């Protein structure tokens, strides 16, 4: 599948903001089943942008504005070719040992209710990791209602589990917290998802989890959709939780109240016909 992405994030400030710095995890990497054909990141104001790699192996761009600005738009355009890998993730850049992803993290910490939920899922069938993870995927999808709006970037797995509702980020945190409690390494993934229902205009990027399965390696699980990852997923960044894989994080001086507007279009592009 060839997927085309147009992603525009616009910040508007009450007063000109000074010392604008943005940390961008917006560029996908090639790996088995994912090949970046073209990708461009364009800030709307003059400044310096440099490319680096963080500790997780994500491509990171640092942008520093030259002058104060009353608004800033980060525009991303690109195309990626994907192949069906049935959830198996191979050929990725791995900078950390697998056991690192057993670490607790603030947003994906297993509360007592999540611990009990995880044990119930494991004990309800085949205890092998892959079978357990597929039951966990279905159980999180069934228990926690996808509902845009009620949570924020700082919402914890415990809070979302208690409320039984959230967005893809929240369902992913719950899945990760439960998997780690069962001693299965798990991590957060940010990226894009091409919907099969024909809806191409979306409110935000997507999030899902990867868990380590003996004999298979890392496998992608999308609790918001209740499926293993497919060729419809574009993998961009990983972390222990959202904070390590957030598409954009930044700082500024002054500026007053900030308004955020996001435009995202994810659509299937037609591959060129070879003569």
124-147: pLDDT as tens digits: 999 999 999 999 999 999 999 998
150 pLDDT more than 60: no
Check whether 273 has a pLDDT greater than 50: no
Mean pLDDT of 199-220: 96
123: pLDDT strictly greater than 60: yes
166-207: pLDDT as tens digits: 999 999 999 999 999 999 999 999 999 999 999 999 999 999
Strand stretches in the chain, DSSP E: 2-24, 34-43, 47-53, 59-65, 69-82, 88-89, 145-146, 165-166, 186-193, 201-202, 206-213, 217-222, 227-228, 233-239, 248-253, 258-269
Question: pLDDT (tens digit, 9 = 90+) per residue, 26-71?
Answer: 999 999 999 999 999 999 999 999 999 999 999 999 999 999 999 9
Q: How many CB atoms lie within 10 A of CB 217?
A: 14
pLDDT band at residue 152 under the 50/70/90 scheme: confident
- The yes-or-no verdict on residue 153 having pLDDT over 90 is no
Higher pLDDT, 195 or 273: 195
**What's residue 271's pLDDT?**
65
DSSP 78: E
* Mean pLDDT of the residues in the chain: 95
What length is written for the chain? 275
- Given this model, what pLDDT does residue 175 score? 98
pLDDT of residue 275: 41
So what CATH class is 88-245?
alpha beta
Rounded to the nearest angstrom, the gap between the alpha carbon of residue 70 and the centroid of all alpha carbons in its chain is 28
Q: Does the structure show a pLDDT above 80 at 12? A: yes
Same fold, 2-82+248-269 and 88-245: no
Its pTM stands at 0.95
Our CA angle for 82, 145, 117, nearest 5°, is: 95
Neighbouring C-beta atoms of residue 224, cutoff 10 Å: 21
Residue boundaries of the structural domains of the chain: 2-82+248-269, 88-245
Contact in structure between 194 and 176 (CB atoms under 8 Å): no
Predicted confidence at residue 214, as pLDDT, reads 96
- Look at residue 42 in the predicted model and tell me its pLDDT: 97
Q: Which two tokens stand for residue 125?
A: 């069938």
| CATH fold for the domain made of 2-82+248-269 | Immunoglobulin-like (2.60.40)
pLDDT digits (tens, 9 = 90+) for 247-257: 999 999 999 99
């Amino acid at each position: 599948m060839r997927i085309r992405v147009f992603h525009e994030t616009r910040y508007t400030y009450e007063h000109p903001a000074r010392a604008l710095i943005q940390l961008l995890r917006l560029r996908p990497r090639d790996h088995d089943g994912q090949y970046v054909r073209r990708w461009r990141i364009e800030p709307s104001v003059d400044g310096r942008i440099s490319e680096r790699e963080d500790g997780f192996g994500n491509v990171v761009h640092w942008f520093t504005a030259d002058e104060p600005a009353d608004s800033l738009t980060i525009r991303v355009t690109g195309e990626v070719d994907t192949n069906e890998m049935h959830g198996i993730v191979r050929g990725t850049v791995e900078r950390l040992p697998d056991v690192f992803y057993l670490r607790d993290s603030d947003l994906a910490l297993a509360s007592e209710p999540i611990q009990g939920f995880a044990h119930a899922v494991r004990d309800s069938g085949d205890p092998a990791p892959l079978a357990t993870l597929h039951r966990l995927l279905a159980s999180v999808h069934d228990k926690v209602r996808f509902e845009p709006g009620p949570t924020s970037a700082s919402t914890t797995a415990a809070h979302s589990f208690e409320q039984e509702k959230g967005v893809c980020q929240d369902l992913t945190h719950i899945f990760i917290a439960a998997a780690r409690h069962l001693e299965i390494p798990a991590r957060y993934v940010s990226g894009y998802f091409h919907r099969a229902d024909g809806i191409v205009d979306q409110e935000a990027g997507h999030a899902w989890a990867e868990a380590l399965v003996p004999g298979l390696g890392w496998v992608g699980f999308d609790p918001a959709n209740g499926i293993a990852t497919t060729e419809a997923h574009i993998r961009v960044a990983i972390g222990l939780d959202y904070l390590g894989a957030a598409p954009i994080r930044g700082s500024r001086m002054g500026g007053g109240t900030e308004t955020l507007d996001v435009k995202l279009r994810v659509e299937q592009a037609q591959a060129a016909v070879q003569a």
